[in-house]
Amino acid sequence: MFVTPSTGELDPRISFGINDTALLALFKCQSKGHHIFARTLQGYQSLKVDSFQPEVTAGHLPPEFIEKWGESPCLLGALFAPTKPIGLLIADRGNTGQSISDVDYTNFVLILSLINTAIARLAR
């Protein structure tokens, strides 16, 4: 899934997978604040998320998120131009039940680095 900042909110733009359109609304949130997607984007970082339950417990995600998303792990990664965040990539294994390994995370970070480097070069 690809989520972009737009008028103070993060808006889901592109998704792929089973029931992906039903999940799109889950990814809409304020672009600044304590929401895990906003923090990841504003922090220009990548994360391996094993469970969103701690985010729900801390009040950073609504309980409905877990009800619809489930306990599936995912990878989050910020895309950014040199001066601002431009989007957030969210990758998971869908409802396969497979975990995300450290190698998966390393490959995800490598791909994001290459994309962000290309964006920086194009922005010059």
pLDDT one-digit tens code per residue, 55-89: 999 988 888 888 888 888 999 999 998 888 999 99
Query: Selecting from 3.40.50.11860, 3.40.190.10, 3.30.450.40, 3.30.1380.20, what CATH number does the domain 2-123 have?
Result: 3.30.450.40
| Helical spans, DSSP H, in the chain | 20-23, 36-42, 53-57, 63-69, 102-123
Q: What is the pTM of this model?
A: 0.86
Q: How far apart are CA 53 and CA 70, in angstroms?
A: 9
How deeply is 2 buried, as exposed, middle or buried, from its count of CB atoms within 10 A (0-12, 13-18, 19+)? middle
Higher pLDDT, 116 or 29: 116
Residue 80 vs residue 18, higher pLDDT: 80
**Residue 100 pLDDT exceeds 80:** yes
Domain regions of the chain by residue span: 2-123
Residue 23 has pLDDT above 80, yes or no: no
